[in-house]
Structure 1
Amino acid sequence: MSIPFYKYQGTGNDFVMIDNRKGLFPHNTAIISKICNRKFGVGADGLILIENHDSLDFEMVYFNADGSQSLCGNGSRCAVSFAHFLKIIKDETKFLTIDGPYEANLKHDLVYLHMRDQQCPEKFDTHYFLNNGSPHHIEFVNQAEKQDVYQQGAAVRYSDVYQPNGTNVNFVEIKENNTIYVRTYERGVEDETLSCGTGITASALAAADKGLSSPVAIEAKGGKLEVRFEQKADHSFTNIWLIGPAEQVFSGQFDI
C-alpha cells in the first residue's frame, strides 16, 4: 500500500505528516520508527497523523521518532499548518492532542499555539522542572553553544531521578533584549533537536523567575520563536502562547 506524506518543519524540528482521515495508516511503532529513520526512511524527529474527530476540527496523533507518544509543541504548530493546507480549517482551530484539546490560529505566516495554564516551574539548586504536557528539566548556563547537549542531556534524561520515563533536557542562556537561547535534548528522539516547542515554552516560563517578562524572544538552532504569557500574583502563568513559523518542505509517498 502506497501512503502519501508531507514533510514539515517548525524552526528545524521536522515531521512526517500524513492525512489519515480515512484510517489507512496503522499506528505501528516499527513502521513509524523506520519512516523517521534518517538513513533508511524519510527522516524526521516525529510523525504526525491528522485524523477525524467528532466535535473538534481534527485529532493530531503524534509519535516521536522511536514510536513513543507525547505532546509536541512544534509538531502541533506544524499540524495546524498542515490542516490549513488540507482545507480542514481556516485561520482558527480547536483540535485534540494526547494532552487534550488545544487551540491555535494562523497570522502572517506564523502559527500561534495556545498552551495550557501552568504553575511556576519547580525550582531546585541547579535547575528547574516543568511538565507542560511533556516533562522538561531546565538548566541555565553561561554559554549554551559550548554545552555538550548530547552527552549531558542523555546523562540527565536517563538519571535515576527521572526514572522510569525520563525527561527532556534544556540548556538555556539568557541574552540581551529579553531573549533566551535554548538547546534541547529530546526524549524519544534521543538526541539534540534544532528546536523543541514545549521545551522553549518551559524555558521561557522558568526565565520569568530570572526577571524576564512577556514576550520572551527565543533563539534556537533552527530559528526564532516567541513565547507570550501573563503571570499571576501567585507566580502561576496563564494565556501562554507559543509563536513561530511552520513550513512545508516537500511531499512524496512510501510503501508499507
Structure 2
Amino acid sequence: MQLEFYKYQGTGNDFVMIDNRSEFFPKENTQLIARLCDRRFGIGGDGLILLENDTIASNLATATNFKMVYYNSDGNQSSMCGNGGRCLVAFAKKLHVIENEATFIATDGLHHATIGDDGLVALQMIDVDAVKISPDHVFMNTGSPHHVQLVDDLENYNVKENGAAIRYGDLYGKAGSNINFVKQIDDTTFSLRTYERGVEDETLSCGTGATAVAIAMNVLGKTDASSIDLNVEGGKLVVSFDKGEGKFTNVFLKGPAEFVFKGTIEI
C-alpha cells in the first residue's frame, strides 16, 4: 500500500503528517508508526500526526475544524505536542480545511489557533493552575508534563544523559516527564534545551516545554514579562499569557510551522 505523507517542522521539531479524514490509517500499528518516524529506515520525525474529522466536540455542539492525533517517534500515542499542533494547523491550511483560523480538539481538549500574515502560527495552550515549585526545579503540565531546571553552561550541558537520568529516576515514576534545562539571557529572554520522553533524546524544540519554561520563569520571579522569548536549538518561539490569582490563562505559543516536503512510502 502506498501511503501519502507530508513533512512539517516547527523550529526543528519535525513531524510526519497524514490526512486521515477517511480513517484508512492503521492507528494501532505502533511498529509501523515507529518505522515511519525512523530517520534511517523511514521518513524521519520526532512524531507522527493524523489529521482527522472530529466527532466528539461536534456532538457537544462545539464548532471544530478537525481532530489531532499525536504519536511519539516510538510509535505510542502521547500527550499534547505544541509545535506539532502548530504544524497541524499549517497542514490543515494546505489541505484547504481552514483559512487562517482553526479550532481543533487534541488529547488535552480544545485549542484555537491563528496564522498571521507573516506565516507564524499562534496556538492557544491549556490554562495552567498547578505549578509545583521544588528547591532545584519546577514542575507543571502544559498539555504534557514538564520538569524545568536552571543550569550553568547550557551550551555544553549533557542534555541526553542528565535528562534521561531525571526522566527515568524516582521523581516521576514509570510515566516519566519531559525535562527542560534553562539559561536566562535577559529580562524577557531564555534559552532552553529539552529531553523529550517518547523520543528519548534531545529534540531541537519542544512547544509544551517552551510554554512550561516561560511560566516557570515567571513563577520563580526571573521575569515579570507576560510575553517571553524562548531560544530553542532550532530557532525562536514566543510564549504569552495572562496571570491572575495563581492561574495562567490565554496562554499562546507562537512560532514558525513550515512545510518541508511531500511524498509516498510503501507500507
How does the TM-score come out when normalised to structure 1?
Answer: 0.97
CA deviations 1:183-235 (Å, max 9, x no partner) are 00000000000000000000000010223112100100100010001111x23
CA distance in 2 between counterparts of 1:177 and 1:163 reads 34
Structure 2: unaligned runs, 5 residues or longer = 59-63
Residue in 2 aligned with 1:66? 74
Query: Deviations for 1:74-96, whole angstroms, at most 9, x for unmatched residues?
Result: 00000000001000011111101
The 5 Å alignment of 1:41-190 reads 41-54=42-55, 55=58, 56-68=64-76, 69-107=78-116, 108-119=118-129, 121-190=131-200
Contact kept? 1:120, 1:206, Cα under 8 Å: no
Contact 1:120 1:237 in 2 (8 A): no
1:221 paired with 2:233, answer yes
Within 5 A, what are the aligned runs for 1:170-249? Answer: 170-209=180-219, 210-212=221-223, 213-232=225-244, 234-249=245-260
Aligned to 1:254: 265
AA aligned opposite 2:39: R
Unaligned runs of 5+ in 1: none
Q: Which moved more, 1:138-147 or 1:5-14?
A: 138-147
Equivalent position amino acid for 1:93 in 2? A
Cα distance in 2, alignment partners of residues 93 and 7 from structure 1: 20
Query: By how many angstroms is 1:122 displaced?
Result: 1.0
Give how far 1:177 is off: 4.5
Distance in 2, Cα, partners of 1:147 & 1:172: 10
In 2, Cα distance between the equivalents of 1:141 and 1:21? Answer: 44
Runs of 4+ that moved beyond 3 A: none
Q: TM-score if structure 2 supplies the norm length?
A: 0.93
Q: What is the 5 A alignment of 1:1-16? A: 1-16=1-16
Q: Is the 8 A contact 1:47 1:64 kept in 2?
A: yes
Alpha-carbon offset, residue 131 of structure 1? 1.0
Amino acid at match of 1:91: N
